[in-house]
Amino acid sequence: MFSIQTPIRSTGRRKCAVAQVLLISGSGSFRINSQPAVEYLHADAFLLAAVLAPFEKTKSQDAFDITVKVKGGGLVGQAFAIRLGIARAINAVNPICRSNLKQAGLLTRDARVKERKKFGLKKARKASQFSKR
């Protein structure tokens, strides 16, 4: 169904995590930072399902070899950054899939990030206890 001549590069971001995705025609090999994806994500079913969601929506699980370089953030942020990068790469390969990916919310960047700490406060919004007397 899908075949590409040149590798497709895309980027996904979530919180502090940045994932650089390389999509090549192949047999379904999936490596994250030179490790198999299952090993990198510690075989967590939730994270694996999140990362593979773009392939399930477009029915292209075994059409591509995926190589990902990801850095920053935690494991969940990295997984969702990888998911966005894969969805963008699939959209670049076959724009017909855009409606399926968009409807599932896979092409939307989650812009929520940690709020910075303000001076005079203990955390971003937490203040020390107020005493009237």
Mean pLDDT by 10 residues, the chain (133 residues): 82 96 92 95 93 92 91 95 96 92 94 95 95 89
The answer to the question of residue 64 being in a domain is: yes
Q: In the prediction, which pLDDT does 2 show? A: 66
Q: In the prediction, which pLDDT does 86 show? A: 96
* CATH number (domain holding residue 20): 3.30.230.10
Query: The domain containing residue 14 runs over which residues?
Result: 8-103
Report how far residue 54's alpha carbon sits from residue 49's, in angstroms, rounded to the nearest whole number: 10
The answer to the question of residue 63 being in a domain is: yes
- Residue among 25, 21, 24, 22 at smallest CA distance from 13: 21
Sign of the torsion formed by the C-alpha atoms of 52, 97, 26 and 110: negative
Q: In the prediction, which pLDDT does 14 show? A: 95
Q: Give the global pTM.
A: 0.89
How many domains is the chain built from? 1
